[in-house]
Amino acid sequence: MKWRNQLLALFCLLAFAGIGVLYFQHWVIRKPFGIILFVGEGLSPARLAPSRTYAAGAGTRLNLDSMPHAALVMNYSKDFAAPDQAAAATAIATGERVANRAVAINGDGKAIKTIIELAREYGRATGLITDTKLTDPTSAAFYAHPVESSHYEKRRKTG
């Protein structure tokens, strides 16, 4: 009788440990705790070179260089080869190309879901930090859907 109880306890322990490992691998490890998106508007390798030289020489590594994931994005708008702030930020925030002067709205004037809205739908906490005005097109593309595509320009002139 004792051996039977001991074998049952050992089986339960191994089953519990196996389920714990599976849970940890599939739910805990694969979900990122948080995602931070830095948008360095106009920040290119050519603009980083003088910063490195000023910091301590051309071979210096900046804190930006030690980030584990970084990307350089070059995009264009639907109606022009060089996007303005609104079209470039909308491409980053929504994943869709739009015409110049469009802030997170498509050609029909309908709102496009931004990455912040998608994160909220999945129960994630979100935030937007900027060193410019919130009505600046780069910031606004992540949260706003103005009815009139040039609405941000009017707000910038009055604000």
**Rounded CA gap, 56 and 79, in Å?**
43
Q: What is the pLDDT along the chain (159 residues), one digit of tens a residue?
A: 688 888 888 888 999 888 888 887 776 666 666 778 888 777 777 888 888 888 888 888 888 888 888 877 778 888 888 888 899 999 999 999 999 988 999 888 889 999 999 999 988 888 888 888 888 898 999 998 886 645 555 555 555
**Are 104 and 147 contacting, i.e. CB atoms less than 8 angstroms apart?**
no
* pLDDT at residue 153, rounded to an integer: 53
Give the pLDDT confidence score for residue 134 in this predicted structure.
86
In terms of Cβ atoms closer than 10 Å to its own Cβ (0-12, 13-18, 19+), residue 140 is buried
Distances (CA, A) of 156 to 7, 22, 133: 74, 52, 9
